[in-house]
Structure formats: structure tokens, C-alpha cells
């Protein structure tokens, strides 16, 4: 199998590829640009390519961020939107990264960063496959707890709506919401709203 065929197969498997992907299989990153010029690959953003037949979905920008910031977890407004439990439209991609981690510099899509550590970072992470790209997204219960934890950032009204929609669409149980609230240390804050909702 020649280098072009290898890269096309890699793009089929991973959905989106960049220089690191090419080099991981021993192929020069220059092949990506050559294949783009030949029309074998399509450039989605600077440094990332996909197959021409891949359909662009509403979560395409999440794929781009997941490839460029592998340790990120989609959170807050973007996670609410991903799970379909908000009326908010995220104009930025909201991601959580470990406290003290490298600060990603990405021109587009615009990012809203949240730094967290310990269980607050690792708890409730779900892996979703979108067009072959693995995306880390917080579970609905963890996202609701995050909204209460960062209510000064997203607004208390967004947190309350998220809880109501999560319960309405049965995206989480009371036990899951309580566990996430305890991990985020917002159980006392969430309890009255939880009691009023369920």
C-alpha cells in the first residue's frame, strides 16, 4: 500500500487527520497538503483534513477541537447542546482541560476554557464517536452539576433549565445528579432546585 492509500485509509478510520496522524504511521506531513491539492482530501481548518465524501454535521467543530486538544472534555453550554438539554446556542466551544495544562491557541473555532482538576475533571466523561472522531463529553448529570458549579459563568437560569430538561428527557437519574453534585461540591446549592424539579 502506497503512502496516499495509507493516508486515505487512516482518514476513513479516524474521520479527520493531521500532521501527527501522518507521522504516527511514518508518512511525511507534506503528503497531506499534496493530497489536498489533488482533491483527495478536504481541509477543514488549518492543519486538519478529511475525506471529500464526509458530511459535515452540527458537531463538526467539536471534532476539530477534539483532534487539536486531545485532553479536552466538552463541557457546560456545548455539552448541554450536544445532549439536547438546553435552548442556549453556544457561540464558542466550551471545553474543560486539566488545571495547569498547556493553554491551547486556536483561532477558530473560538474556545471558552474551564480549568478543573481531580475528580471534577475525570468524573462523568463519556466518549462519543462523531464521523470517526472520538469526542470526550461530560454526561448530562455531570454537565448539570458543572452548570451549578460555574453558575457565575453560565448563569443560574441556564443551570436550572439544564436540570429541568435533563429530568424531563430522562437523561439522568436523581442518584446520578446527586453523585455529580457531590463530586463538584455543589450538593447544597443544587438540592432545593432538584427537589422542586423531581
The answer to whether residue 45 sits within a structural domain is yes
* pLDDT-derived band at 88, boundaries 50, 70, 90: confident
Residue 55's pLDDT is 64
Rounded to a whole number, what is the largest CA-CA distance in the chain? Answer: 62
Q: Is the model's pLDDT at 1 over the cut of 90? A: no
* pLDDT-derived band at 175, boundaries 50, 70, 90: very high
123-136 burial, b if ≥16 CB within 10 A, otherwise e? bbebeeebbbbebb
For residues 75 and 160, membership in a common domain is answered with yes
| Mean pLDDT of all residues in 26-54 | 79
Residue 146's pLDDT is 97
Residue 76's pLDDT is 97
For residues 30 and 68, membership in a common domain is answered with no
Length of the chain: 198
**Owning domain of residue 90:** 60-197
The answer to whether residue 55 sits within a structural domain is no
State the average pLDDT for the chain: 88
For residues 148 and 74, membership in a common domain is answered with yes
For residues 11 and 100, membership in a common domain is answered with no
For residues 45 and 75, membership in a common domain is answered with no
Total domains in the fold of the chain: 2
For residues 115 and 155, membership in a common domain is answered with yes
For residues 64 and 131, membership in a common domain is answered with yes
For residues 91 and 179, membership in a common domain is answered with yes
Dist CA 132 CA 91 (whole Å): 24
For residues 185 and 101, membership in a common domain is answered with yes
For residues 109 and 147, membership in a common domain is answered with yes
What pTM was computed for the model?
Answer: 0.77
Q: What is the pLDDT of residues 54-66, one digit of tens each?
A: 666 667 789 889 9
Q: What is the pLDDT of residues 7-38, one digit of tens each?
A: 888 878 777 788 888 888 888 888 888 888 88
Amino acid at each position: 500500500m502506497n503512502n496516499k492509500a495509507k493516508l486515505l485509509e487512516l482518514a476513513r478510520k479516524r474521520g479527520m487527520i493531521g500532521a501527527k496522524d501522518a507521522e504516527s504511521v511514518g508518512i511525511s506531513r507534506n503528503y497531506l497538503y499534496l493530497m489536498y491539492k489533488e482533491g483527495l482530501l478536504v481541509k477543514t481548518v488549518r492543519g486538519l483534513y478529511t475525506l471529500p465524501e464526509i458530511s459535515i454535521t452540527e458537531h463538526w467543530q467539536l471534532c476539530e477541537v477534539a483532534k487539536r486538544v486531545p485532553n479536552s472534555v466538552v463541557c457546560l453550554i456545548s455539552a448541554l447542546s450536544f445532549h439536547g438539554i438546553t435552548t442556549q446556542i453556544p457561540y464558542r466551544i466550551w471545553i474543560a482541560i486539566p488545571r495547569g495544562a498547556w493553554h491551547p491557541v486556536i483561532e477558530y473555532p473560538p474556545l471558552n476554557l474551564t480549568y478543573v482538576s481531580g475528580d471534577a475533571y475525570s468524573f462523568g466523561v463519556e466518549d462519543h464517536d462523531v464521523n470517526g472522531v472520538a469526542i470526550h463529553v461530560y454526561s448530562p448529570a455531570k454537565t448539570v452539576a458543572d452548570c451549578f458549579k460555574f453558575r457565575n459563568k453560565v448563569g443560574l437560569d441556564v443551570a436550572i433549565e439544564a436540570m429541568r430538561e435533563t429530568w424531563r428527557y430522562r437523561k439522568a437519574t436523581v442518584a446520578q445528579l446527586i453523585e455529580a453534585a457531590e463530586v463538584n461540591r455543589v450538593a447544597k446549592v443544587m438540592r432545593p432546585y432538584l427537589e422542586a424539579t423531581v
